[in-house]
């Protein structure tokens, strides 16, 4: 009895860690799966579907990072961050909702937990996509993107 409860807690902790660690990749994975399924449905073959999915997902991640790093407009950075964090928020909503239902929470609490999970996972993805770009003046890029302030330059 104790061992099964302990292993359940370890497994739940691992799933939560995995959800937060992979949240930043939700948008590239979504694009990769969509492109791969489209290529496969067009009867181009399984190898072509895998290659095109890999290239589309990688390009989506790299283009997002480059755009977030080079664009100076706070509104555009906010839009890019929202674009990349929206699929993560949806996955966070469904993951936490499923875990809450397994745990036996009531319908109201399941929805409260699910929406809280969506906000937290989406926010985590947004901060991580900003942090992948790296700092430009010693302050985290996510700080500049969220506050809209420009870094101070000497000279």
CB atoms inside a 10 Å sphere around CB 112:
14
d(CA 81, CA 32): 18
pLDDT over 90, % of the chain: 18
Mean pLDDT of 89-110: 84
Evaluate if residue 155 carries a pLDDT over 50: no
Domain membership of residue 105 as a residue range: 25-147
d(CA 40, CA 47): 9
* Residue 58 forms part of a structural domain: yes
Query: How many domains, in total, are found in the chain?
Result: 1
pLDDT tens for residues 103-123? 777 888 888 888 988 898 888
* Residue 18 forms part of a structural domain: no
* Residue 3 forms part of a structural domain: no
* Residue 8 forms part of a structural domain: no
Q: Among 14-18, 40-44, 104-108, 128-132, which range has the highest average pLDDT?
A: 40-44
pLDDT over 70, % of the chain: 84
* Residue 133 forms part of a structural domain: yes
Q: Among 31-40, 82-91, 126-135, which range has the highest average pLDDT?
A: 31-40
* Residue 75 forms part of a structural domain: yes
Q: What is the pLDDT of residue 1?
A: 65
What H or E segment, with its residue span, contains residue 70? helix 46-70
62 contacts 126 by C-beta, under 8 angstroms: no
* Residue 7 forms part of a structural domain: no
Write down the pTM of the prediction: 0.66
Mean pLDDT of 40-49: 91
Q: Indicate the length of the chain as a whole number.
A: 155
* Residue 59 forms part of a structural domain: yes
């Amino acid at each position: 009895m104790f061992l099964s409860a302990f292993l359940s807690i370890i497994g739940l902790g691992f799933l939560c860690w995995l959800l937060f660690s992979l949240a930043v990749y939700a948008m590239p994975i979504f694009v990769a799966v969509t492109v791969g399924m489209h290529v496969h449905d067009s009867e181009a073959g399984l190898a072509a579907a895998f290659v095109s999915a890999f290239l589309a997902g990688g390009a989506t991640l790299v283009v997002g990072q480059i755009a977030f790093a080079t664009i100076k407009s706070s509104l555009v950075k906010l839009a890019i961050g929202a674009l990349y964090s929206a699929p993560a928020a949806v996955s966070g909503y469904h993951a936490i909702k499923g875990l809450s239902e397994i745990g036996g929470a009531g319908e109201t609490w399941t929805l409260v937990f699910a929406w809280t999970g969506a906000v937290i996972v989406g926010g985590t993805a947004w901060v991580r996509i900003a942090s992948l770009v790296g700092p430009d003046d010693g302050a985290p890029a996510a700080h500049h993107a969220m506050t809209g302030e420009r870094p101070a330059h000497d000279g």
